Amino acid sequence: MALGVKSSTELLESAKSGDRRSLARLLTLIEGGEELVLPNVSPWTLGVTGPPGVGKSTLIGRLVSHWKGSGERVAVLAVDPSSPRSGGALLADRMRMESTDSGESVYFRSLATRGHPGGVSYLLSPMIDLLSFCGWSRIVIETVGSGQAETRVVAFADRVMMVDGPDRGDIIQAEKAGIIELADIIAINKSDKPGASRAAESIRASLDLSSSESVPEVHLVSAQNSIGIEGLVSAIEKCSSPPWRNRLRITERLISKWDSRLILSEGLDDVLDELETGSITLDEALDRL
């Protein structure tokens, strides 16, 4: 081992003692594919999803402030979309999220999707375990945005909150995608705007027609004006995933792992080159990988 380079065991000890640099290095190692040996943990997790522009980051910032004031240690993993061409991402949520990295009780990490289908990577699971092991009592996962792929957040979060705005059109898209059926809490942000109450009542009416045994609560909030935040936090703390979600969670984790194995396969670029020229079929490509 090179002089001054800590082993993963030493980094774990430092991270558990509160060293943020060691924690950041460990998260980077996980992103690079390294597996850490951790004791069994029971992390508290909240997945936050919703279409772009509804104020997810601002609302999460308010939740962070509330938990911080209650003595909780809060970690936020914000997943940003990656460019399909370069693989890079604008990790901009930090600029929109109030209270991030403010003091020792808040930790923020932006993550690029790196092309993983579903908007989240299977690597989230070991990252969450690491954060829980290091003493972060509230772990929030912010997804890229609402859509069919967003259902994968249930693989990593014990409870799911869908955020939307007064525009009923976005809610209809969420219903089509199925994410509204998986939400434990629904927050209509920007409650001071016209149409917010109407959107909330429309959602409640739609949920009343569903055959689900557990109907999510719908909350009107304003992250900008700090309206309804305490009630929302209380509802989040009380809610829990229904038993039927366990099977879905396992399924989504397996699919996520499968997708990642494909993306990280050796020789993927060569196979793609041959597919592009038409020299092999898709079935032949999969067999080779």
* 131-168 confidence digits (pLDDT tens): 999 999 999 999 876 554 566 777 788 899 989 888 75
* 74-104 confidence digits (pLDDT tens): 999 988 655 445 444 444 444 455 545 567 8
At residue 244 the predicted structure's pLDDT band, cuts being 50, 70 and 90, is confident
At residue 201 the predicted structure's pLDDT band, cuts being 50, 70 and 90, is confident
Write out 249-282 in H/E/C secondary structure. Answer: HHHHHHHHHHHHHHHCCCCHHHHHHHHHHCCCCH
pLDDT: which is higher, 51 or 82: 51
> What CATH number is associated with residue 84?
3.40.50.300
At residue 208 the predicted structure's pLDDT band, cuts being 50, 70 and 90, is confident
Whether the pLDDT of residue 126 is over 70: the answer is yes
Q: Report how many domains make up the chain.
A: 2
In this structure, the chain runs to a length of: 289
Whole-structure pTM value: 0.82
Same domain, 126 and 221: yes
**Would you say 146 and 285 are in contact if contact means Cβ atoms under 8 Å apart?**
no
Residue 15, domain extent: 1-36
Same domain, 152 and 65: yes
Structure tokens at 183: 């939400």
Structure tokens at 256: 């996520």
- Looking up tokens 């509802």 gives 235
Same domain, 112 and 22: no
Same domain, 127 and 216: yes
Same domain, 3 and 107: no
